[in-house]
Chains A and B, each alone.
Chain A
Amino acid sequence: MSLIIPCPHCGARPVQEFVYGEIPVVPDDLTDPDARDVDRAFMRANPEGPTVERWFHAYGCRRWLTLERDTHNDEIFSAE
């Protein structure tokens, strides 16, 4: 890990400046409300491949950005 995160406001910075945040996605086919609640609280898609996630730039603007990253090889596609 020495990911470089392109902060849209501050510029490219090492990953240590950021805090990771995930975007939980509950599958549509899960219909029971309690099951959806449990899924949202605990279950993870954990994809090996492209994923959309949030990063908080703690050492810079202190705002969240949304990043598209491939968890297979840490390639970064976009940030906004």
Chain B
Amino acid sequence: MNEFMERQVKLTWHEPKASYDVVIVGGGGHGLSTAYHLATRHGITNVAVLERKYIGGGNSGRNTTVIRANYGIPEAVRFYQRSVELYQRLEEETGRWIMHERKGLLWLAHTEAGVRAERARARVNTAFGAETLFVTPGEIKEIAPEVDLTGGGQWPVLGGSYHPQGATARHDRVNWALAEGAMERGVHIHQRTAVTDLLKEGDRVTGVMTDKGPIHAGAVVSAVGGHVTALGRMAGLRLPIRTHPLQAFVTNHYALDFHPIVASMSLLFYASQTARGEMLIGAEIDPQPSYSYRSGHHFLQSCAFRAMTLLPFLRRLRILRQWTGVCDMSPDYSPIMGKTGVENFYITTGWGTWGFKAIPAGGEQMAELIATGETPELIAPFALDRFARDRTLADRGSAGTH
């Protein structure tokens, strides 16, 4: 045994029923969190989560586990700050060790425009409840002495923002803690159950067809990642989503000595050290849409090089593994949550590269919407119809890579 083996969570499986009050499609973090919050906050337990593979096997188990609220627009800062706070309480609430660790996140700027952007970030974060400080190169060196402020002589660090509440947690453990908490209260989770169509009466969704038969539902929630366009099509919806691969890699295990999360505005990478001592490094999405999970060499080569430019100690670390997930990107780089215009069909998508950090708040808010029928104020701006209403939530600069 190792100290990081899961010793607490017990998963209980059931046979599917013919109908549930709520069917959630997608057994990733957002689906599980929605089920968990339906059960714990609203006493709604006649709920099924349908997962076509295994729980947490999509992006929820492939992401790089960064938790932060340092976004660039008020709506996003408020929402993610709620999630940051829920994460901070999640271990206590579930009684499960999710390996939540506050690390502090440094976002480095290398141009005058970058400095301006980080200064602005600090302002809007602080005003909407997320602490972020503008930091000078000298302060950066104190927080992360590993950073080469000259950027290898090519990408000098001119300043940055520091987000002290930036944290990480073990993605799998978050998924399992939520799954177990939901299961304990009666929620059914069905793995290896693929939704093949939606059941409809007129314009109303009444359930799902699965590869194991029909399941009726009072409400259907799409919490899928990667294939939301196909599910939306079943409901007759067109979605503003493009699916792109996102890659990351880890090194072998080293003694714990690198505390913060470091990211660069210009070099587009971020790095942190996991509790197990791996250096975990990621970068931007692949530019073209694709559903392919195959890892590429150019990503690894380029991302490794960029990270090493600012963190020279990485050079002699040996790489262990690289992997790929697929991300649903929205045109304004903000998520989409809420009602869809199709009765009984709700959606949570557009989680791009920022889904993990939103799992607690996303699930909490979606559960409230389903339980009350009213869109909570916190997520109202993220509605699907914002594109037609000319109320997009542009935040590309904050979506970044992590």
A residues lining the B interface (CB < 8 Å): 1-3, 14-16, 19-20, 22, 27, 30, 34-35, 38-39, 41-48, 53, 71-74
Contact = CB atoms under 8 A, between A and B. Distances in A.
A74 B294 contact: yes
Contacts of A72: 291-292
Given A44-B240, A46-B241, A46-B243, A38 B291 contact: no
A42 B240 contact: yes
B239 A71 contact: no
A38 B388 contact: yes
B227 A48 contact: yes
Contacts, number: 76
Tell me the dominant secondary structure on chain A's binding face.
Answer: loop
13 contacts: A1-B292, A3-B296, A19-B287, A20-B287, A22-B242, A34-B388, A42-B387, A43-B238, A44-B229, A44-B240, A48-B230, A71-B291, A72-B292
B290 interface: yes
B328 to A, nearest CB: 8
A1 B238 contact: no
Interface residues of B, number: 27
Contacts of A44: 229, 238-242, 289
Interface string B72-96: 0000000000000000000000000
Interface string B366-388: 00000000000000000000011
A30 B388 CA distance: 14
Interface in B193-231: 227, 229-230
Nearest to A72: B291
Contacts of A3: 288, 296
Interface of B: 227, 229-230, 238-243, 245, 247, 286-292, 294, 296-299, 302, 331, 387-388
B292 A74 contact: yes
Contact of B229 (A19, A39, A46): A46
Given A27-B238, A44-B241, A71 B298 contact: no
Nearest to A19: B287
Given A46-B229, A74-B294, A1 B242 contact: no
Nearest to A49: B291
Contacts of B290: 1, 71, 74
A38 B289 contact: no
B129 to A, nearest CB: 30
A64 B299 CA distance: 24
B298 A46 contact: no
B96 to A, nearest CB: 35
A34 to B, nearest CB: 8
Contacts of B229: 44-48
A1 B388 contact: no
A39 B229 CA distance: 14
A39 B388 CA distance: 9
A12 to B, nearest CB: 15
Nearest to A35: B388
Nearest to A51: B289
A39 B232 CA distance: 14
A66 B289 CA distance: 15
B170 to A, nearest CB: 27
B286 A1 contact: yes
A47 B243 CA distance: 9
Nearest to A37: B388
B242 A46 contact: yes
A77 B289 CA distance: 16
B387 A71 contact: no
A48 B387 CA distance: 23
Contacts of B331: 42
Contacts of B243: 46, 48, 71
Given A1-B245, A14-B298, A71 B287 contact: no
B390 to A, nearest CB: 9
The 8 closest A-B pairs by CB, nearest first: A1-B296, A46-B229, A43-B238, A2-B296, A42-B240, A20-B288, A42-B387, A1-B286
Given A1-B247, A30-B238, A42-B240, 14 more contacts: A1-B245, A1-B286, A2-B296, A39-B238, A42-B387, A43-B238, A43-B387, A44-B238, A44-B289, A46-B241, A48-B230, A53-B288, A71-B243, A71-B289
